[in-house]
Amino acid sequence: MPPIPIATDADAATPLLSVRDLRVSFFLDEGVVRAVDGVSFDVSAGQVVGIVGESGCGKSVTMKAILQIVEEPGRITAGRILFRRRRGPGVPGDEPVDLARLHPRGAAMRAIRGAQIALIPQEPMAAFSPVHTVGDQIVEAIMLHARQWRPEGPALRRAEARRISVDLLRDVGIAMPEQRVDAYSWQLSGGLRQRAMIAMALSCKPRLLIADEPNTAIDVTKQAQVLSLLRELQRRHRTAIVFITHDLGVIAQIAQHVIVMYLGRVMETGPVDDIFHAPKHPYTRALLRSIPTLRVTPRAKLPIISGSLPHPLNRPTGCPFHPRCDVVLPEVCASRVPSLQPVGERQSASCFLHHAVEDTT
């Protein structure tokens, strides 16, 4: 598959995806859960961004919000998700569209899903339909957005789509793709399934790929292969990737830019080197400290983050992390919410240790 250059415009400074103050809430019988509570970040074309955080920090919900597939009773309540669409019929200039304003089931959003923003879901076993072949499902994606492959002229035929699928499977490193295309997902091993999932996600040449914890379902050796595959594909097609995970090691290997989330807010963000070697936020520091290393004195206690994740209906006031923070400033942190402010050249953190209270918005 010849690499299609995605960022054709000269203005590479405008980010591909720009999330501004996104808020997503779930309206349950028991109360309202603010799963995402004011998240902002940018993704540039061709960049690999990692979103890292504990379970329940809102990273998956953020991803679903971008794709407008947040399930009932959840809803985007505020914020903007600005996305630069590819130029094409019906899309004049490069004016970014606010995805949060589009109707989740409307034609505009459906045209973007799969074709411009694609998802690699969490469990490839469960994410493929068990009663349709892998090939059928990839062909379906291709036919749905056929115009990506053939912008004008006669419509794409199924036979051609099938040939494209076989090529895609070969590109992701699946041997004997002509046979594998007719297999069912449960007939493939875990690693092959994951690759097939990646092939399906890439099938319509998206500008942005969202990978939702793609490594949880496979073992360590396969993980390394999948990561290198993703790096290779990203390099070849200049696709931007948003990589969601709780595994700091994976982030270190693949991300260029890191976003650290906690309880629905961004704690810190910056280039991967800065985050790992010079973390500014107490939460980031605690996370990095708690990774067991080989250089620890024997029988020393493993460092932990004290306290536990608060119940989603019982959010702390002020800074969400303050009950568990070891350098908390008592009155300030409990009463005011810090905002994301720059703490370095390309690094930002939301912590009153690094900026004055008056800077809060």
Partner 1 sequence: MTRYVVQRLVLLPFLLFVFSVAVFAIVQAPPGDFLTAYAATLASSGSSISAEHLDALRREYGLDQPAYVQYLKWMRNLSQGNLGLSLEYQRPNAELIGERLALTVVLALFSFVFTWVVAIPAGIYSATHQRSVLDYVLTALNYVGVATPNFMLALILMWIAFAYFGIGITGLFSSEFVDAPWSLARALDLGKHIWLPAVVLGVAGTARLTRVMRANLLDELNKPYVMTARAKGLSELRLVLRYPVRLALNPLVSTIGWYLPALFSGSLIVATVMNLPNIGPLLLRALVNQDMYLAGSILLIYCFLTIVGTLVSDILLAWLDPRIRMDG
Partner 2 sequence: MAVGSSAPSAAEERISVASNWTLVWWRFRKHRLALASAAVLIVLYAIVLCPDFFSTQDPELTEARLAFMPVQRLHLFDGGGFRPWVPAVVGKRNPITLRMEWTTDPGRAVGVGFFVRGHSYRVLGVIPANLHLLGAIGGGARAHLLGTDRLGRDQWSRLMHGTQTSMTIGLVAVTLSVVFGVLLGGVSGYVGGLPDLTIQRLIELLQSLPTIPIWLALTAALPRDWSPLRVFFAITVILALVGWTTLGREVRGRFLALREEDFVLAAELAGCSRARIIGRHMVPTFLSHIIATTTLAIPAMIINETSLSFLGLGIRPPAISWGVLLQEAQNIQTLALAPWLLVPGLMVIVSVLAFNLVGDGLRDAADPYSH
Binding site for partner 1 (CB under 8 A): 67, 69, 105, 110-115, 118-119, 121-123, 126-132, 140-141, 144-145, 184, 186-187, 200
Q: How far apart are the first and last CA of the chain?
A: 47
**Smallest gap, in angstroms, from Cβ of residue 145 to partner 2?**
38
**Smallest gap, in angstroms, from Cβ of residue 106 to partner 1?**
10
**Smallest gap, in angstroms, from Cβ of residue 146 to partner 1?**
12
The option from partner 2, partner 1, none interacting with 50 (CB < 5 to 8 A, set by class) reads none
Q: Which of 43/333 has CB closer to partner 1? A: 43
Q: How far apart are CA 241 and CA 229, in angstroms?
A: 13
**What residues between 239 and 268 interact with partner 2 by CB under 8 A?**
246, 248
**What residues between 15 and 74 interact with partner 2 by CB under 8 A?**
54
Residue type, 61: V
Asked whether position 308 contacts partner 2 by CB under 8 A, the answer is yes
**Smallest gap, in angstroms, from Cβ of residue 129 to partner 1?**
5
CB contact at 8 A, 258 and 275: yes
The option from partner 2, partner 1, none interacting with 114 (CB < 5 to 8 A, set by class) reads partner 1
**Smallest gap, in angstroms, from Cβ of residue 230 to partner 1?**
17
Q: How far apart are CA 319 and CA 35, in angstroms?
A: 15
Q: What is the DSSP letter of 151?
A: S
The option from partner 2, partner 1, none interacting with 291 (CB < 5 to 8 A, set by class) reads partner 2
CA distances from 159 to 137, 140, 167 (A): 14, 12, 13
Q: Which of 189/290 has CB closer to partner 2? A: 290
Q: Which of 126/291 has CB closer to partner 1? A: 126
User: Nearest Cα to 308, choosing from 295, 323, 330, 293?
Assistant: 323
The option from partner 2, partner 1, none interacting with 159 (CB < 5 to 8 A, set by class) reads none
Q: How far apart are CA 62 and CA 56, in angstroms?
A: 11
**Smallest gap, in angstroms, from Cβ of residue 52 to partner 2?**
10
The encoded tokens of residue 194 equal: 């994951």
**Smallest gap, in angstroms, from Cβ of residue 308 to partner 2?**
5
From candidates 32, 176, 291, 327, binder to partner 2 by CB under 8 A = 291
Beta strands in 180-291 (DSSP E): 208-212, 240-245, 257-262, 265-271
User: Nearest Cα to 252, choosing from 229, 282, 224?
Assistant: 224
- Cα three-residue angle 255-258-260, rounded to 5 degrees: 140
Q: Which of 102/287 has CB closer to partner 2? A: 287
**Smallest gap, in angstroms, from Cβ of residue 23 to partner 1?**
21
Which range in 20-28, 84-92, 302-310, 334-342 contacts partner 2 by CB under 8 A? Answer: 302-310
- Relative to beta strand 17-27, strand 74-83 is antiparallel
> Angle formed by the axes of helices 134-144 and 158-171, to 10°?
110
CB contact at 8 A, 229 and 174: no
- Relative to beta strand 117-120, strand 208-212 is parallel
Residue-wise over 59-79: b if at least 16 C-beta within 10 A, else e?
bbbbbbbbbbebeeebebeeb
Which range in 26-34, 85-93, 254-262, 301-309 contacts partner 2 by CB under 8 A? Answer: 301-309
Q: Which of 65/258 has CB closer to partner 1? A: 65
Residues in touch with partner 2 (CB under 8 A)? 54, 246, 248, 287, 290-291, 302, 304-309
